Structure 1
Amino acid sequence: EDLGRATTERYTIRDIERDGEFLGRLLIENDLDSLRSDAYLSYRAAYIIAVAIQSIIIMAFLAWTYFSIVKPFEDLREFASDVAGGNLEKPLKMDRGNLFGAFTESFDIMRSELNDARQKEYEAQRSKIELVAQLSHDIKTPVASIKAMGEVLEARSEDEKTKERLTSIVSKADQIDVMVSDLFAATLTDLNMLEAENTEQESSILNGIIRDADHMDLVISEGISECIIMCDKLRTTQVINNIISNSYKYAETAIYVSSHIDEDSLVVSFTDRGGGVSEDDLPMITKRFRRGENSKGKPGAGLGLAIASELMEKMGGDLEISNADGGFRVTLYFRIA
Structure 2
Amino acid sequence: MKLKTRLSIAFLTLILIPIVLTVTMVCLLGRYQISAIEKTYEISGTTVKSFSNSVLVMSRLTEKPYHELAKMAKKNPRKMEDATCLEEFNQKLEEKKAYLLVRKEGTIIYVGTDMDEANHVIGQLPDYGESENTSENGIYLGGEAQALIKQVDFHYSDGQEGSAFIVTDVSNMIPEVEEFFVDMVFGIIIVLILTAALLIFWIYRAIMRPLGKMQVAAKNIRDGNLDFELEAESEDELGSLCRDLEQMRCRLKDNAEEKIKFDRENKELISNISHDLKTPVTAIKGYAEGIMDGVADTPEKMERYIRTIYNKANEMDTLINELTLYTKIDTNRIPYNFNTLSVNAYFDDCVEDLSIELESKNVEFGYFNYVEGSVKVIADAEQIKRVIHNIVNNSLKYMDKPKGKINLRVKDVGDFIQVELEDNGKGIAAKDLPNIFDRFYRTDASRNSSKGGSGIGLSIVKKIIEEHGGKIWATSREETGTTMYFVLRKYQEVPIS
Aligned-partner Cα distance in 2 for 1:250–1:305? 13
Q: What residue is the counterpart of 2:410 in the other structure?
A: 259
TM-superposed CA distance for 1:220, in Å, is 3.8
Task: Report the counterpart of residue 276 of structure 1 in structure 2.
Answer: 426
Residue aligning to 2:489: 335
1:201-231 per-position Cα deviation (integer Å, ceiling 9, x unaligned): 4234444455456661544433473534354
CA distance in 2, matches of 1:48, 1:235: 89
CA distance in 2, matches of 1:164, 1:262: 48
SS at structure 2 position matched to 1:328: strand
What does the per-residue CA deviation read over 1:219-258, in whole Å, with 9 as the maximum and x for residues that have no partner?
4433473534354545423322211222333337343211
**Structure 2-normalised TM-score?**
0.37
- Say if 1:163 and 1:243 are closer, same or farther in 2 by CA, change over 3 A: farther
Following TM superposition, by how much is the alpha carbon of 1:290 offset from its aligned partner in structure 2, in angstroms?
1.4
Report 1:1-337 matches (<5 A): 7-8=43-44, 11=60, 12-14=63-65, 16=69, 18-21=82-85, 29-30=136-137, 70=207, 175-187=315-327, 192-194=330-332, 199=338, 201-202=340-341, 203=343, 204-209=345-350, 211-212=352-353, 216-218=357-359, 219-223=365-369, 225=371, 227-229=375-377, 231-251=379-399, 253-272=404-423, 274-277=424-427, 279-280=429-430, 283=433, 286=436, 287=438, 288-292=440-444, 296-316=449-469, 317-323=471-477, 327-337=481-491
CA distance, structure 2, for counterparts of residue 222 and residue 167 of structure 1: 35
Q: 1:282 to 1:60 in 2, by over 3 A?
A: closer
Return the alpha-carbon distance in structure 2 between the equivalents of residues 207 and 310 of structure 1.
24
Give TM-score, length-normalised by structure 1.
Answer: 0.50
Q: Matched residue of 1:222: which SS?
A: strand
Q: Which runs of 5+ in 1 are unaligned?
A: 1-5, 32-38, 85-110, 144-158
Q: Which amino acid aligns with 2:84?
A: G
Q: Alpha-carbon deviations, 1:48-73, whole Å to 9, x = none?
A: 99769955986699689979994996
Aligned to 1:36: none
Distance in 2 between residues matched to 1:328 and 1:68, nearest whole Å: 63
Query: Offset at 1:319?
Result: 2.7
Q: 1:215 to 1:68 in 2, by over 3 A?
A: farther
Structure 1 residues 165 and 66: alpha-carbon distance in aligned structure 2, compared to 1, 3 A threshold: same
Distance 1:75 1:198 in 2: 55
- Count residues with an aligned counterpart: 262
Deviation (angstroms), 1:181 = 3.2
Amino acid at match of 1:297: S
Distance 1:276 1:238 in 2: 23
Offset at 1:162? 9.5
Partner of 1:244: helix, strand, or coil?
helix
- Native 8 Å contact 1:239 1:311 kept in 2: yes
Moved more, 320-329 or 261-270: 320-329
Amino acid at match of 2:413: D
Aligned partners of 1:222 and 1:257 also within 8 Å:
yes
3-state SS of the aligned residue for 1:302? Answer: coil
**1:310–1:9: structure 2 CA closer, same or farther, 3 Å change rule?**
closer
Q: Is the 8 A contact 2:404 2:425 kept in 1?
A: no
Which letter does structure 2 place at the counterpart of 1:276?
Answer: K
Give the Cα–Cα distance (whole angstroms) in 2 for the partners of residues 193 and 61 of structure 1.
Answer: 58
Which secondary structure state, in structure 2, belongs to the residue aligned with residue 298 of structure 1? coil
Shift of 1:269: 1.2
Using the alignment, how far apart are the partners of 1:259 and 1:305 within structure 2? 20
SS, match of residue 433 in structure 2: coil
Provide the C-alpha distance between the structure 2 equivalents of 1:23 and 1:250, rounded to a whole number of angstroms. 131
Give RMSD over aligned pairs. 5.9
Is the alpha carbon distance of 1:73 and 1:23 closer, same or farther for their aligned partners in structure 2, counting shifts above 3 Å? closer
The answer on whether the counterparts of 1:264 and 1:336 sit within 8 Å (CA) in structure 2 is yes
Contact 2:473 2:486 in 1 (8 A): yes
Q: Distance in 2 between matches of 1:47 and 1:232?
A: 90
CA spacing shift, 1:56–1:238, aligned 2, 3 Å: farther
CA spacing shift, 1:7–1:65, aligned 2, 3 Å:
closer
Equivalents in 2 of 1:282, 1:163: separation in Å?
A: 42
1:9/1:222 CA distance change after superposition, 3 Å: closer
Letter of the 2:456 partner, please give it: L
